[in-house]
Amino acid sequence: MAGGLAVVAPAAAAAAGPSGPALVSQRAGVDRSVPVRGLPHATNIISKGAGTTRAVGRTQSNQALAASLAITKVGTPETVLAGEEITYTISVTNNGPDPARAVTVTDVLPTGVTFLTSSTPCDNAAGTLTCLLGPMTAGQTIQFVVQVRVDASFTGLTLTNSATVTSPSDESPSTVTTTTRVATAADLSLTKVCKPDEPAAAGAEGYCDIYVDNLGPSDAQNVTLTDVLTSAAPFRVSRVRVSPGTCAAIPTEPTRDFTLNCTLGTIAAGTRGVVRVVVTAEDVTQINDTATVRSTTADPDKGNNKATGRVDFLGSADLSLVKTGDATVDAGGTLTYTITVTNSGPSTARDVVVRDTMPAGVTFDSVTSPSGSCTNGQPDGGKLECGLGNLANGATATITVVGRVTADLVPGTRLFNDAIVSSATADPDNSDVRASIPTDVTASADLSVTKVDSPDPVTAGEQLKYTIVATNAGPSNAENVVLTDTLPAGTTFVESSGDAVCTAEEPGEVVCTLGTLAVGPGRTVKLTVAVGADVPDGTTLTNSVTVSSTTSDPNGDNNTATTETTVETSADLAIEAAATQTWQEQEALTSGDKKDKGTIVLLTLTVRNLGPSDAQNITVLDTLPLRPDKVGVESLPSACTYDSGQDHVVTCTAESLAAGGTLEFPIKLRVRAEGELTNTATVSSTTEDPNLDNNTSTIRFFVWKKKN
């Protein structure tokens, strides 16, 4: 992770109170500046107070649970230049099991930085930030950023920043300490203005003003200037004036060459040192003047550390730079900066160069320039340099720079973009050559969802699968993405699979949590539901799913998908007949005699529904054996009727039979014959039956009379 290594201590670690201001090394004479390309790394340490051991040994029977807050903090960049910004990204997590009340983060800023902004409102009291996060549910994470600027005059090697999270719900605060290494870099720019504009008369005085401008970002330490004056004829150095600093003694006799050494000390970022060298000659000559500036502070651009001039003429061009940019930008979107350079003269500005530094989290996309050429610095593409050539007095040049913000940049981050203009021609006023534009990062994610059902049509009593695809068209990552699926009546949730965790939150609703959904290919979730066996044939099951996110969505029209599935029914009915016999006697018509009335046979017809759907309008037909005078109906269930005519059939009906259910129809027959009888029963339904082979049952049974 950018910004250093975060180490989270165990819950039973020793208590660590809030850290005080960082201690920085200020050893005199030590060159602690490093080149920009060789910056070291930073370290973050996180600790949890001893109070977190409160959960050890507790039992659920006698102790209440509490919230456990954890905090992490990352500083970006790992190594910062004095005069530039540090972005601290702070994440607070409630590890539960209970909610936390009145969560507060206290951030003690180190000495040597100036608070700029924070994505969460924080109260700044003498460098101590108090950020109120409010209540936090168990498992919730809140992330915000704090941005500071390191003082350009900072001379320490590191900056240590501590942040502590507290809550009345957590007995032990959690503290994180982040260390950022600090380096220095000062872009010293040397320009020279020599007067008079026209050659001076012999014996008169001319002078060269040498301007040492510190373009930052850090203060330049131990600045020295070497000025070499040469001429074909003798000249005299009349006097030297320097501010700040001192210069070595000047010769008392005429000379053809002289090297002036000046010690300018510290030049603060954005300020300048000035050395004036006054010369005179008793004869016509040109005095060529070459000055070189050095510092023990690293200089990222040494190409502007030397300047030459002559006493007869040197131009002067007042350059100014104005920069505009978007006030806000969505993470993942494009950011446009417009840079306008104007030369207010009086001279043509020669070799004009504009340098633009992209903020962290923004990559270079494109640049347009009216003249010259632009190069995009490598390897990170964060530094842009445009050479505009010569810019005439009164002329203006406009450069448009487009950058792309990374899609995962935390909303609330403030991006700072710096641009500066310089020229080989001396600028009498460098207070307007640099501009910095802040842009606040927001987020916007265009979510969409599609849904497909299978099979269609579906058979009542079987399973139906829905395939759901959620997609993010950006530009930002979508956070806390949730799919809410409203199941149709007559169905129940069975299971889910794919790129989400789904639960049946309430009857008829399934909620799937996707977390963060990046821009690009969608994520797929499959839901399986069971269609009730009692759903009528021809029913249309309408299912809707909606995708949502805590990230703003510019287009809500594509956040819901609906699919319709037709239901068909199928019930495999099976019938089985069985017969048992009993005997019955009655008194004979004549006294003293008994007469056999016949044999009673119990015929049992059993109907089973093997599914998958409920069967509707069941009809059972049983064609009785022999003739009605040989086999008659003794008794019937209420659901059955007997046609004693030529058909000799018993008919039994039922409105419906659930899948897996059974119907029984016991029929008592009086048989006045002996021998083997054959009985056939059939079952049918208005519901489609996929297997007719088991819809008929034929049995053979023997009937004999009881022998006394």
pLDDT digit string, tens, across residues 268-285 = 999 999 999 999 877 657
pLDDT-based confidence at 148, cuts 50/70/90?
Answer: very high
- Give the pLDDT band of residue 30 (cuts 50, 70, 90): very low
445-568 under CATH 2.60.40.1510, yes or no: yes
**Structural Rg of the chain based on CA atoms:** 47
Residues 644-691: tens digit of each pLDDT: 776 789 999 999 999 999 999 999 998 888 888 899 999 999 999 999
> What three-state secondary structure class fits 106?
strand
**Residues 6+ away with beta carbon under 8 Å from 228:** 257, 258, 259, 260, 289, 290, 291, 292
The residue-averaged pLDDT of 101-113 equals 94
The domain segmentation of the chain, as residue ranges, is 36-56+63-183, 186-310, 317-442, 445-568, 571-703
Average pLDDT for residues 246-275, to the nearest whole number? 93
State yes or no: pLDDT of 341 exceeds 50: yes
- pLDDT, tens digit (0-9, with 9 covering 90-100), for 586-611: 333 344 445 556 788 899 999 999 98
pLDDT above 90: residue 482: yes
Please state, for a pLDDT cut of 70, what percent of the chain lies above it.
85
Options 1.10.10.10, 3.40.50.1820, 2.60.40.1530, 3.40.920.10; CATH for 186-310 is 2.60.40.1530
Q: What's the mean pLDDT when you consider all of the chain?
A: 85
Q: What is the pLDDT of residue 48?
A: 53
- Residues 546 and 530: their CA atoms lie apart, in Å, by 21
The CATH H-level (homologous superfamily) assignment of domain 571-703 is ntegrin, alpha v. Chain A, domain 4 (2.60.40.1530)
Mapped onto helix, strand or coil, the DSSP state of residue 220 is strand
Angstrom distance (rounded) from CA 532 to CA 612: 9
Peptide bond into 379 cis (omega under 30): yes
Interval 482-509 mean pLDDT = 90
Displacement of CA 226 from its chain's centroid (Å): 54
36-56+63-183: CATH superfamily: ntegrin, alpha v. Chain A, domain 3 (2.60.40.1510)
- The three-state DSSP-derived secondary structure of 354-373 is EEEECCCCEEEEEEECCCCE
In 3D space, the residue among 89, 65, 68 whose CA is nearest the CA of residue 142 turns out to be 89
Confidence band for 377, pLDDT divided at 50, 70 and 90:
low
Q: Say how far apart CA 321 and CA 341 lie, in whole Å.
A: 5
CB 135 within 8 A of CB 109: no
415-471: pLDDT as tens digits: 998 999 999 887 888 899 999 999 999 999 999 999 999 999 999 999 999 999 999
Equal fold, 36-56+63-183 vs 445-568: yes
Pairing state between β 79-81 and 170-183: parallel
CA angle 527, 530, 534 (to 5 degrees): 150
Are 67 and 56 spatial neighbours (Cβ–Cβ below 8 Å)?
Answer: no
| Confidence check: pLDDT of 26 > 60 | no
- Position 60 pLDDT exceeds 60: no
Spell out the residues 6+ positions from residue 271 whose beta carbon is closer than 8 angstroms to its own. Answer: 213, 214
The whole-model pTM stands at 0.52
State how far Cα 38 lies from the chain centre: 31
One-letter amino acid of 634: E
* Residue 698: exposure state from Cβ atoms within 10 A (0-12, 13-18, ≥19): exposed
Q: What's the rounded mean pLDDT across residues 117-144?
A: 94
Q: What percent of the chain has pLDDT over 90?
A: 63
More confident residue, 4 or 184: 184
Low-confidence winner among 52-56, 316-320, 405-409 (lowest mean pLDDT): 52-56
- 55 confidence band (pLDDT: 50, 70, 90): very low
Q: 255 in helix, strand or coil?
A: strand
Spatial separation of the C-alpha atoms in residues 447 and 479, rounded to whole Å? 11
User: Which range among 26-30, 407-411, 430-434, 604-608 has the greatest average pLDDT?
Assistant: 604-608
Residue 290: what pLDDT? 94
User: Whole-angstrom Cα distance, residue 103 to residue 95?
Assistant: 13
Quickly state the pLDDT bin for 312 (edges 50, 70, 90): low
**Residue 49: its pLDDT value, please?**
46
The CATH superfamily label for domain 317-442 reads: ntegrin, alpha v. Chain A, domain 4 (2.60.40.1530)
What is the distance, to the nearest Å, from the Cα of residue 202 to the centroid of all Cα atoms in its chain? 74
Which two structure tokens, joined as six digits, stand for 250?
A: 């000047």
Listed residue (89, 216, 212) closest to 154, CA to CA: 216
Query: Are 163 and 98 contacting, i.e. CB atoms less than 8 angstroms apart?
Result: no
Query: Which residue, among 513, 511, 447, 515, has the nearest Cα to 485 in the 3D structure?
Result: 511
